Amino acid sequence: MSITYTIISFIIALGILITFHEFGHYLVARWNGVKVLRFCIGFGQPIFRRRWGKDQTEWVIAAIPLGGYVKMLDENEGKVAPEDLPRSFNRQPVARRFAIVAAGPIANFLLAIVLYWLLFILGVNGMKPVLGPVEPATPAAYAKFETGETIVSIENESVASWQDARWTLLRYAIDQSANVKVQTVNKNGEINWRQLDLSHIDPDKLNENFLGMIGLNSYQPTVKPIIAQVMVDGAGYHAGLLAGDEILTINDIEIQTWMDIVQEIRTNPERTLELEILRDHQVIALAITPEAATENGKQVGKVGIAPVINQAEFDELMVTVSYPPGKAIQKAIEKTWETTTLTFQMLSKMITGDVSWKNVSGPISIADYAGQSAQMGLVSYLAFLALISVSIGVLNLLPIPILDGGHLMFYLIEMIRGAPLSDKIILIGQKIGLTMLFTLMVFAIYNDINRLITG
C-alpha cells in the first residue's frame, strides 16, 4: 500500500468527519439566530475561500486538514455593530450556547448512526466464529473450549461473526469481568455453556491480539503443502520449484500443512534451506534461499509461492450479516451507543491507571488504519469512519477547556451559579486545557512511533 494512497484516504476521512462536526455547530447556531462569520475546515494557509449567503459567511478550506472551526459573531472577539448585537453568540441565553456547542459532538454521533445503518443494510462480511486450536494455559483452555465449536452467544447477546465475538468480549474484558457466559455449538449440534474468566487479561495489551490472549483462534481449513503458483523471479522460481510440487520436508523437518512451510520460510530470511519435494511420484531434493523482506520493522523470509486452496471450504466459513432498513437503524443506534460507552470506559480506566496509555493512537496510526480499510473496500472504510466519528464525538465531550466539553462544563457551572465564570478563570482553564491536549497528542504520537519501530 503506497504512502500516497494512505494519505489520501486519511485526508478524505478527516474532511468528512470534521465537516460534519463543524456543520453541527453551524446549523444550530443558524437555527438560534446567531450570525456565523466563518466556516473553516483545516488550519493554516487557505487554499479555497468564498463568501455565500445572506450573512456573507466566509467558507474556507485550509492547507492543514487536522481540525476546523466555526467563527460566530461574539463581543469577546471584537466590536459588534449595534444592529447585530441580538445575533451575537455571547448575548444568547446559556441554554442556546450549550446547544450550539453540543451540536458538534452530537453531529458526529448522528453520522456514526447513519454509517452503521448503511453498513447493516449493505451487509458486513466476516468469518463465522468457529474455533480453531485452543491455546493451552489460557482462559479458553481453562473454560474447556474445543476445536470445531461455534460461538453462538456471549452473555445472551447473539454472535454471528468473529468481529462480533471480539467486540463483545472486549467490552467485558475492559470491565475485567469474571466468568463471562459463552454459548457454543459443536459439530454434532450439541449446545455447551462455557464460563470464560476475563479478569486476568493484561489491560496494556488490549490493542494487540486480544482473542489470542484469551486463547481463541479462528478455525482455518487444512491447506495441503502443495504449490499452486510460483512467482516469476522469486526465490522459489530460481530454486526450480514448479506448480504441483508437494513439499515433504524442510531441513529434515516433516511438513504436514502449508502453515508449516510458511513458518519455516518466514523465520529463515537469507538462509539456505534444504527441501524434499514430491514431483511426478518422485522425491527430489532442492535448495532454496528465502529473500529477506521487512514487515512491521522485522525481517521475514519470502520465496514467492502460493498454495492450492479449496475455495469452497473457505466460503463455507464466511458469513454476511445484514438487516432490513428498520432493523438496521435499531442496530446502528445500539452499535453507536456501545462504541461510545466502550470509548468512555477505556478513557476512564486510562485516567485511573487500570488501562495503559499505550492504547492511545495518534494521527500516524489513524492514517494507517484509513489506508488499510480503504484498500479492503467500501464496507471496511465506512466502518472505520463510523468508529473514528464516535471517537471524535467522545474526545470533544471531555471536560477539557478549549474542547467543546470544556465549554459545556463552563456553561453548566454558569447554569448552577446563575452567572458566568470570570474571564480570568476561563483563561486559566484554557491554558490548562491546552497543556492537557498537547500532552495527550505527545503520548499519541509517541505510541505511533513506538508501534512503527517495534512492529
Catalytic residues: 22
Question: SS3 for 126?
Answer: strand
Are 349 and 170 spatial neighbours (Cβ–Cβ below 8 Å)? no
Cα–Cα distance, 365 to 443 (Å, whole number): 13
Q: Residues 389, 112: contact at Cβ < 8 Å?
A: yes
In angstroms, rounded to a whole number, what is the distance separating the alpha carbons of residues 365 and 379? 20
DSSP output for 340-364: HHHHHHHHHHHHHTSS-GGG---HH
Q: How many CB atoms lie within 10 A of CB 63?
A: 10
Pick the closest to residue 72 from 53, 90, 45, 50 (CA basis).
90
Reference 21, options 87, 88, 110; nearest CA is 110
What is d(CA 276, CA 90) in angstroms, rounded to the nearest whole number? Answer: 80
DSSP state of 218: B
Q: Amino acid letter at 226?
A: I
Residue 39 CB neighbours (<10 A): 22
Per the CB < 8 A criterion, the answer to whether 36 and 70 are in contact is yes
Residue 212 · residue 135 · CB < 8 Å? yes
Q: C-alpha cell of 15? A: 474532511
Beta carbons within 8 Å of 100's beta carbon, 6+ residues apart: 25, 28, 29, 32, 34, 72, 89, 92
Strands 282-288 and 273-279, bridge-based pairing: antiparallel
Residue from 377, 328, 386, 434 nearest 20 by CA: 386
The rounded distance, in Å, linking the Cα atoms of 299 and 291 is: 10
All three cell numbers of 247, joined, read 513439499
- Please state, in angstroms and rounded to a whole number, the distance separating the CA atoms of residues 262 and 126: 24
Spell out the residues 6+ positions from residue 348 whose beta carbon is closer than 8 angstroms to its own: none
Identify whether the C-beta of residue 32 lies closer than 8 Å to the C-beta of residue 96. Answer: yes
